[in-house]
Amino acid sequence: MLRRQLRHLPRAIYQTNAARSRCLNTAQNSQKKIYASQAQSAKSSAAVSSSSSPSASGSKTNTSKSPTIQVGEDGSPHIPERPKSWLTHKVETSPAVRYWFMKITALLGYHSPKQRAGLRTFLLYERICAVTPDAERNFWQNECDLPPTFQSWFIITNLHFWMLTVRLRALPEPHGRFYVQFLLDHFFLDIEDRIRAILQPSIPPRDPYTFFTSFYINPNIPKDGKLKRGSRAPERLVTRQMKIFKEQWMGMGMWYDYGLVTNDMELASAVWRNLLGARGSQGIAYPDSNPPKFRRGVNLVGGAVENPEKIDLEKEQSRDDGSGVHDYPPDEIDKYVRYPELMLDIVIYMRREIARLEKISDEEIMEGGLEALTFGRIRPNVPKSQ
């Protein structure tokens, strides 16, 4: 019980400190708009959760109070407001409790720049970065042919995480260092939570670190809603997956940085390798040829391959690993024609959003509303119905 309540402590402290911040009016106006849209979408959340499948929302028995992301008709994602904990309710309703709460948190250092950065970056990650896969699901899954897997969710979220950190690095010290580190901490805490939910599912599902999403499917949730004995994955498998995602994060960030400071060609190549699965890297399979049906990139690090020097690379490339990202077969080679346009759209989107974030002041980044920081659409000129 105590552990569950402590998880709400950062959110309660943030709500309390927000009332004392210098940008109170700006924050209140933006939050009112967000909560108004959330309240409208929350009316239909019960019907959505009851009609969704176990693989899409976690389980048919998912009646927990944890938020499930909703996407409005305009394509904007909304996270329903969490129910307030008893601590938040006491702080908001009792002046005496509020007074002593502020005194205790001040003694614990929760008003320091470091702690304020940790509270702020949770909202930046949850409301700005983690919602992006659901906001542009049609583009990523239909245009880019990314499968509904957690790997796809990770690479999309990591792209927007990187774009936001490009702006956070420019904050004055020590704020820049604090913001980047805490944003990274929230990112990987969410990653670990989602990995455990996939490899070690529970019925009903545990409360997530951020929110439930239907962008990817959990294949380990049984259709009958009953877990079998021995279905939990060992901890070493969770640790190995965390290492793999850490190496992917490092590699993606390095190549995105390199493309950002060089030219659009290098940035497009980083997008092609990291987002589009490097399809066609070893040639295109035409109908008259006899290539392997599946050709994919092989990750030689992260514990997936113990002896890279002894691996049969050609055999591994032709093996379907179930990720859904592989070269197109001969009867689908027409999809390669779209690749230059896809890379151009994504590169323009990255440059445009980074330039937009650059124009936002440091004060608004650290204390302002979240609407100004929200990422725009990848193709703003395309009708929303498409």
Q: What does the DSSP assignment read for 77-124?
A: EE-PPPPPPHHHHHHHH-HHHHHHHHHHHHHTTTTSHHHHHHHHHHHH
> What integer pLDDT is reported at residue 37 of this predicted model?
43
How far out from the chain centre does Cα 48 lie? 22
Task: Give the pLDDT of residue 294.
Answer: 65
**R_g of the chain computed on alpha carbons:** 22
Distances (CA, A) of 28 to 57, 95, 151, 370: 31, 20, 36, 11
**Closest among 320, 293, 279, 316 to 145, alpha carbons compared:** 279
Residues 133 and 164: their CA atoms lie apart, in Å, by 15
- What is the reported pLDDT for 177? 92
* Spatial contact of 77 and 70, defined as CB atoms under 8 Å apart: yes
Kindly report each contact of residues 347-356 with a partner whose C-beta sits within 8 Å and lies 24 or more positions away, as own/partner.
Answer: 347/264, 347/267, 347/268, 347/271, 349/376, 349/378, 350/159, 350/163, 350/256, 350/260, 350/267, 350/271, 351/264, 351/267, 352/376, 353/163, 354/163, 354/166, 354/167, 354/260
Per the structure block, which two tokens stand in for 226? 């009953």
pLDDT for 1 = 45
DSSP state of 327: P
Strands (E), the chain: 70-71, 77-78
Closest CA to 120 of 281, 10, 29, 24: 10
Cβ burial, residue 358 (10 Å; 0-12/13-18/19+): exposed
pLDDT tens for the chain, 386 residues: list them: 444 444 444 454 444 444 444 443 443 444 434 334 444 443 333 333 333 333 333 333 343 456 788 776 666 777 777 777 777 777 788 888 887 877 787 777 666 778 888 889 999 999 999 999 999 999 999 999 999 999 999 999 999 999 999 999 999 988 999 999 999 999 999 999 999 999 888 878 888 899 999 999 888 887 777 777 666 778 898 999 999 999 999 999 999 999 999 999 999 999 998 888 888 887 888 887 776 666 766 655 444 555 556 667 677 777 766 666 778 888 888 888 888 999 999 999 999 999 999 999 999 999 888 999 999 999 988 765 55
Q: Is 229 left (phi over 0), alpha (psi -120 to 50) or beta?
A: beta
Cα torsion through 7, 13, 19, 20, rounded to 10:
-160
Three-state DSSP class for 196?
helix
Q: Alpha-carbon distance 96 to 114, whole Å?
A: 27
Rounded Cα distance, 197 and 209, in Å: 11
Establish whether the linkage from the previous residue to 174 is cis, with ω within 30° of 0: yes
d(CA 245, CA 382): 33
Strands 70-71 and 77-78: antiparallel
pLDDT at 155: 94
Burial of 36 by CB count in 10 Å (0-12 exposed, 13-18 middle, 19+ buried)?
Answer: exposed
pLDDT of 333: 87
